[in-house]
Amino acid sequence: MDDTYLQQYLTLAPVPLGLIRAVDCRHIGRVPLGGKILDAGCGDGLLARILFKNTEGKVITGIDHDPGELKKARSLGIYHDLIACEITAIPFKNNTFDHVLSNSVLEHVTDIDQALAELARVLKPGGTLVFTVPSEYLSEHFLFGRIFRLIGFKQLSVMYARLKHRIWHHEHIDSMAIWTRRLQENNFDILDRKYIHPRSVTEICDLFTFSGACSMLWRKLFGRLLLFPSSLRGKVMARWFKRFYVMDEETGSTLFFVARKK
């Protein structure tokens, strides 16, 4: 299997972010996306840069609530337009976009029904919504949580998971059935739904938590996720982590959905 996404992400990002987002790209990249695309919650634009390396036939608009992130995204030259707004109040007319992509965003939104209604509103009839969110299995897939359970500290495992969710500002850690119902109630048909990020991927990312924390410091100080990003690093680390990159599992830590507006 081609590991280009993995190489590119591990060239620029620490293992926790690089591995998770590369797996996201592997699945999103199989969905044909063209025409007018809304990247809802685009952040710094790194995922779009890697996912849409070829922008021919695509007009990509990014929205995010953080102007600082949009400034970083603008420097990548991927987006036709970038707008600071909330996902619950998108400043576009009805039926504007052919596709909406929202990667690891909806779990942070308190008013999830309003967010889904807005995404449905700006999509053209027949347009697709592609998104990822944490699954109901995420909490039990943390490596250190599993270690706490194995040595008899179950409550400490629960506290560890709660701390991780608080740090990540998770508002929703819901099942596939709940997300399916939400989509159906907001005028979507489900085209694809599955679990991604098997337990082993989540455990690897939990093991490398410290490197992820360091990357946040480098980002604030130097404007990049790695102190010394390099393509050599990406190639070497992709070789180490490829077996995790290609894994799939029935009970993964993340849900992947493709839905079509009726």
Contact 66, 26 (CB under 8 A): no
Phi, psi of 36, rounded to the nearest 5 degrees: -90, 120
Q: What is the mean pLDDT of each run of 10 residues along the chain (262 residues)?
A: 90 93 96 96 96 87 96 94 98 98 97 97 98 96 95 95 94 97 97 95 91 77 82 92 85 96 96
Q: Are 97 and 120 in contact (CB under 8 A)?
A: no
Q: Is residue 238 part of a domain?
A: yes
Q: For residue 193, what pLDDT is reported?
A: 97
Please report which helix (H) or strand (E) contains residue 256, including its range: strand 254-261
User: Contact at 8 Å (CB) between 61 and 74?
Assistant: no
User: Do the domain assignments include residue 142?
Assistant: no
Question: How much is the pLDDT for 29?
Answer: 95
- CATH (domain of 62): 3.40.50.150
Domain contains 151: no
CA atoms within 13 A on the CB side of 205: 23
Q: Please report whether residue 128 resides in a domain.
A: yes
Per the structure, the count of domains in the chain is: 1
Q: Quick one: pLDDT at residue 12?
A: 92
* Inside any domain, residue 211: yes
pLDDT, residue 242, reads: 93
Residue 220: predicted pLDDT: 76
Whether residue 114 lies inside any domain: the answer is: yes
Structure tokens at 83: 């707008």
pLDDT at 172: 95
According to the model, what pLDDT value does residue 212 have? 75
196, HSE (Cβ side, Cα atoms, 13 Å): 22
Residue 219 in domain: yes
**Which residues form the domain of 183?**
4-136+171-261
> Does 101 reside within a domain?
yes
